[in-house]
Copies of this chain bind each other. A is one copy, B any other.
């Protein structure tokens, strides 16, 4: 049995101090708190717990689209728009196709400079590898820490491919799907997959030829159904490079948020998102407790070698291990069965 003791331990009190500090506007404290959560360091839960009372008020806006649709520029425009309205803004950018944190941090600095180091705006790119707790849950947690620092608008930006991204935007209140004219068939299949999650469609680069056709395609897909009752996702045209349409997009977002609030769907949506996160958190905590503290990594390695050498049946092994860990009686499951 392996037992893990963190090399240097900081107490719950220090998590609370860290959160008090980031709430005071200390950007380094904010960055450190996010890193703790991202790395799922022991004590991350204490930080999140200390942040929790200061969350739930900001509007979370998820923006997704294929690479090259101009999402980042659009997000920056939207951020400037909100800043001009005295809203404070947090941006969390997730791009699994850029796995190198170094590049992400550099990108954040360049983007921050565009906003003249405005203290009412915070940008964070997420590394996307090896999150025990799942990328979507970790993104939601990072957004919570950013929100606790006092931001009223959270923009969560992700590349619209793969299940991870769908899961990420599902944790937002309002989901914006960004399309552009002139992308090929491969992108069309991505669109089909994300239709059902869009609250608002943006046709960015709408000064290009083909904007009408993209809008027609969206309308055609909408006629097949799939979106929430009572809300037909509007199509907003933007040109992020010039800022055209940013106001219209912000307005569409507010209208959607207002509709969600009035119909009680915002609460439902957030409860559903929390349910997913609770399952993920329980899963993560169980695995850590059991594998890392009770079973032990070295035992696991030995089992993996035995399985690879065909000396142990992994499916029976897992059954036995979980039974042992939970002290389940054998007769709980006398009849392994197949659903027809």
Which residues on A are within 8 Å of B, measured CB to CB?
Answer: 6-12, 14-15, 18, 36, 41-49, 52-53, 56, 67-68, 96-100, 128-129, 135, 159, 161-165, 184, 186, 189-190, 192-193, 267, 270-275, 277-279, 281-283, 285-287, 289-291, 295, 300-301, 303-305, 307-310, 313-319, 321-322, 325-326, 328, 335-340
Partner of A10, one of B48, B162, B192, B338: B338
Bound-state Cα–Cα, A188 to B63, Å: 23
Q: Are A308 and B99 in contact (CB under 8 A)?
A: no
Q: Are B339 and A9 in contact (CB under 8 A)?
A: yes
| B-chain residues with CB within 8 Å of residue A6 when the two chains form the complex | 337, 339
Bound-state Cα–Cα, A45 to B203, Å: 46
Known: A52-B313, A67-B186, A274-B304. 18 other contacts (CB 8 A): A6-B339, A9-B338, A11-B336, A12-B335, A14-B338, A41-B338, A49-B316, A56-B308, A96-B163, A98-B193, A162-B165, A270-B308, A271-B308, A271-B309, A274-B314, A278-B303, A285-B319, A286-B326
Report the copy number of this chain in the oligomer: 2
Q: Are B7 and A41 in contact (CB under 8 A)?
A: no
Which secondary structure dominates chain A's binding surface?
Answer: helix
Q: Are A336 and B291 in contact (CB under 8 A)?
A: no
